[in-house]
């Protein structure tokens, strides 16, 4: 999940953060384009979804997936497609990541490579010839299982593959491009899972809050009526070995809840989503490398997004429980 763009460094600032819990109401109305500014759509009676519904899954490697993955997008699409007439996943990309795009995420502090540049610290660039990185990938069943090395294919291609996610993408980078991406692809709903890449290096929480707010503002410039499901970052194994990262992750997730609550409007609601709490996320059981979702993890992420779409926006139905075992 490493990326080449430089990451800003700074001192972690946690003072002044307030934990604000976002209450997700029960029955809600989904209206694709026409919103009554005078009422809260999350408190109105539900009505059937009519016409097309354009959903943009957005984020980093956890959303893009790698060669041989199904991805959580697969499971969300196959859940929504029979329930929501005209559902359409949108975005500028269709492919999963190939091995030449991938650098393993560290699990120990000493594993975090860095180069100095532009006055800050950034991950060392690597390419497909990085034998050590590729050897580490080869130790795992995923990614790549079910597909030839170097190819770009999903384990099961039977879903709408459009998305807006890039392996290694940071929130900083996404905030700079989301306005144009929303304007061009016209999503009604954004399902966002991003932020962990920014947190791998020291960053001030004031800066992370600014990035979150710029992301929401940019999406609204592209579509003033867009509805956003903004997920907290999932725990990863690196947090067990780097207290600084663990603290940044905790603080960032508090910010996600606070910013969602503060920026949500009747016209363009923002709902925060705590996947880890909802789905009892287990880093060892739900990832293949301490970071990226395995087959179990993919279903859990899809289920969490499906549930909040149904609860908050009246889109489809909650995911089937208990969760199915991956095939």
Per-chain mean pLDDT for the chain: 79
Answer whether residue 299 shows pLDDT above 80: yes
Domain boundaries, the chain: 41-313
Helix or strand holding residue 117 (H, E): strand 115-117
Residue of 98, 52, 62, 55 lying closest to 76 (CA atoms): 55
- Exposed e or buried b per residue across 223-236, where buried means at least 16 C-beta atoms within 10 angstroms of its C-beta: beebbbbbbbbbbb
pLDDT at 12: 34
On the 0-12 / 13-18 / 19+ scale of CB atoms within 10 A, 3 is buried
- pLDDT tens profile 262-298: 999 999 999 999 999 999 999 999 999 999 999 999 9
- Exposed e or buried b per residue across 57-78, where buried means at least 16 C-beta atoms within 10 angstroms of its C-beta: bbbbbbbbbbbbbbbbbbbbbe
Answer whether residue 77 shows pLDDT above 90: yes
pLDDT at 102: 74
pLDDT at 110: 57
Residue of 67, 83, 233, 235 lying closest to 155 (CA atoms): 67
Give the model's confidence band at 115: pLDDT under 50 very low, under 70 low, under 90 confident, else very high. Answer: very low
Residue of 173, 271, 282, 181 lying closest to 222 (CA atoms): 181
Answer whether residue 142 shows pLDDT above 50: no
Q: What is the mean pLDDT of residues 216-236?
A: 98
Q: Are 40 and 323 in contact (CB under 8 A)?
A: no
Q: At what angle do helices 205-222 and 171-185 cross, to 10 degrees?
A: 10
Alpha carbon distance 212, 281 (integer Å): 23
Give the model's confidence band at 112: pLDDT under 50 very low, under 70 low, under 90 confident, else very high. Answer: low
What would the two tokens of residue 202 be? 């020291």
**pTM as predicted:** 0.76
Q: Give the CA distances from residue 299 to residues 41, 244, 322, in Å, rounded to whole numbers and listed in that order.
A: 28, 30, 11
Q: What is the mean pLDDT of residues 180-198?
A: 98
Answer whether residue 301 shows pLDDT above 80: yes
Answer whether residue 44 shows pLDDT above 70: no
Give the model's confidence band at 170: pLDDT under 50 very low, under 70 low, under 90 confident, else very high. Answer: very high
Domain 41-313, CATH number (from 1.10.1060.10, 3.90.230.10, 3.80.30.20, 3.40.50.1110) = 3.40.50.1110
Where is pLDDT greater, at 135 or 120?
135
Q: What is the DSSP string of 286-301?
A: HBSSSSSB-HHHHHHH
Give the model's confidence band at 26: pLDDT under 50 very low, under 70 low, under 90 confident, else very high. Answer: very low
Q: Is the dihedral of CA 64, 68, 71, 74 positive or negative?
A: positive
Answer whether residue 13 shows pLDDT above 90: no
pLDDT at 150: 62
Q: What is the mean pLDDT of residues 183-188?
A: 98
């Amino acid at each position: 999940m490493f990326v080449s763009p430089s990451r800003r460094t700074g001192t972690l600032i946690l003072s002044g953060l307030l934990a604000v819990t976002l209450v997700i109401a029960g029955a809600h109305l989904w209206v694709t384009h026409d919103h009554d500014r005078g009422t809260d759509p999350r408190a109105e009676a539900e009505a059937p979804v009519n016409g097309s519904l354009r959903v943009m899954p957005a984020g980093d490697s956890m959303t893009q997936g790698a060669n041989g993955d199904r991805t959580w997008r697969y499971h969300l699409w196959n859940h929504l497609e029979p329930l929501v007439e005209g559902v359409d996943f949108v975005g500028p990309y269709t492919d999963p990541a190939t091995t030449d795009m991938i650098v393993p995420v560290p699990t120990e502090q000493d594993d975090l490579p860095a180069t100095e540049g532009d006055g800050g610290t950034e991950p060392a660039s690597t390419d497909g010839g990085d034998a050590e990185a590729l050897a580490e990938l080869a130790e795992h069943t995923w990614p790549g299982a079910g597909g030839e090395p170097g190819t770009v294919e999903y384990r099961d291609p039977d879903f709408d593959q459009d998305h807006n996610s890039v392996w290694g993408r940071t929130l900083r980078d996404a905030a700079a491009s989301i306005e144009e991406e929303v304007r061009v692809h016209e999503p009604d709903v954004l399902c966002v899972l991003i932020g962990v890449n920014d947190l791998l290096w020291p960053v001030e929480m004031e800066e992370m809050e600014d990035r979150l707010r710029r992301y929401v503002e940019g999406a609204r410039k592209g579509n003033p009526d867009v509805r956003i499901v903004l997920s907290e970052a999932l725990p990863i194994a690196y947090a067990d070995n780097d207290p600084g990262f663990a603290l940044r992750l905790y603080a960032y997730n508090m910010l996600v809840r606070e910013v969602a609550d503060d920026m949500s409007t009747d016209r363009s609601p923002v709902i925060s989503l705590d996947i880890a709490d909802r789905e009892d996320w287990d880093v060892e059981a739900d990832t293949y490398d301490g970071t990226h979702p395995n087959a179990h993890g993919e279903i859990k992420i899809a289920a969490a997004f499906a549930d909040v779409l149904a609860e908050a926006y009246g889109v489809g139905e909650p995911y089937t429980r208990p969760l199915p075992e991956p095939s």
